[in-house]
Amino acid sequence: MTVFAISGFTLHTLSILMRFIQGGHMPVANLHEAASLFAWSVVIVFFIIEIKYRVGLLGAFIMPMAFILMLSSSILPREINPLSPVLQNYWLWIHTLLAFTGDAAFAVACGIGVMYLIQEHFVKAKKLGGLFHRLPSLRVLDEVNYRLITIGFPLLTLAIISGAVWAEGVWGTFWRWDPKEVWSLITWFFYALIIHLRITAGWHGKRSAIMSVAGFVAVLFTFFGVSILLKSIHEFK
């Protein structure tokens, strides 16, 4: 799995670099490029977690997620569009890298959450077979899940702040209640609630895993749903 992931990641990196060279700008001008960069970010975070925590079978849960993102990217229009004047700003790099890295951390946390729920099912059902022994313990999964959320949350916070500062420079206001802004704020409140409940009410384990999965649904809607279903000034062209 790791050799396959490294090979795919290397080719993907070269593809992103090619679009960067051809377009002359960060490849996030359309939804195809954004989904591709999202998948790339997820694999980066996966590598970091794999190196640091050695979470068994993590790749089996994260790589399909990256594959689906790449598949989504592949069916979207691939034209290399010029950046709109609004996006021709150094804030594009700051805001985008913060947002994508934060979303990638939430994606991997979601995968860990699913692993936790499966492992807990095995424990409760007393099905202590091969997969049970290959998955990490519930304690490890819960710890890594929470760690990823505490990494993704400040990154999302900084992404929202940097976006607001960028908006003030472009449109003269920090906040326009645009659907992308609203759903980013909803996502922020959701992950803030996860952290708050863990600290104050001791919510961890299964509850934390379920909320981690639900939180990533909000991330996906903010990323894809708002872009496709709602009218937004953040709409990808």
Report whether pLDDT(73) > 80: yes
- The pTM of the full predicted model, rounded to 2 decimals, is 0.92
Rounded Cα–Cα distance for residues 42 and 114 (Å) = 16
What is the reported pLDDT for 236?
60
Rounded Cα–Cα distance for residues 1 and 58 (Å) = 10
Please name which of 17, 69, 78, 118 lies closest in space to residue 216, comparing C-alpha atoms.
Answer: 69
The tens digit of pLDDT for each residue in 213-229 reads 999 999 999 999 998 88
Rounded Cα–Cα distance for residues 162 and 113 (Å) = 29
Given a contact cutoff of 8 angstroms between Cβ atoms, the answer to whether 72 and 85 are in contact is: no
Rounded Cα–Cα distance for residues 109 and 92 (Å) = 25
Exposure string of 122-158, with b = 16+ CB inside 10 Å and e = fewer, is beeeeeeeeeeeebbebebbbebbbbbbebbbebbeb
Dihedral of CA 114/119/121/124: which sign? negative
Q: How many other C-beta atoms are found inside a 10 Å radius of the C-beta of residue 95?
A: 23
Give the alpha-carbon dihedral of 121, 107, 231, 173, to 10 degrees: 130
The tens digit of pLDDT for each residue in 188-203 reads 999 999 999 999 999 9
The tens digit of pLDDT for each residue in 155-189 reads 999 999 999 999 999 889 999 899 999 999 999 99
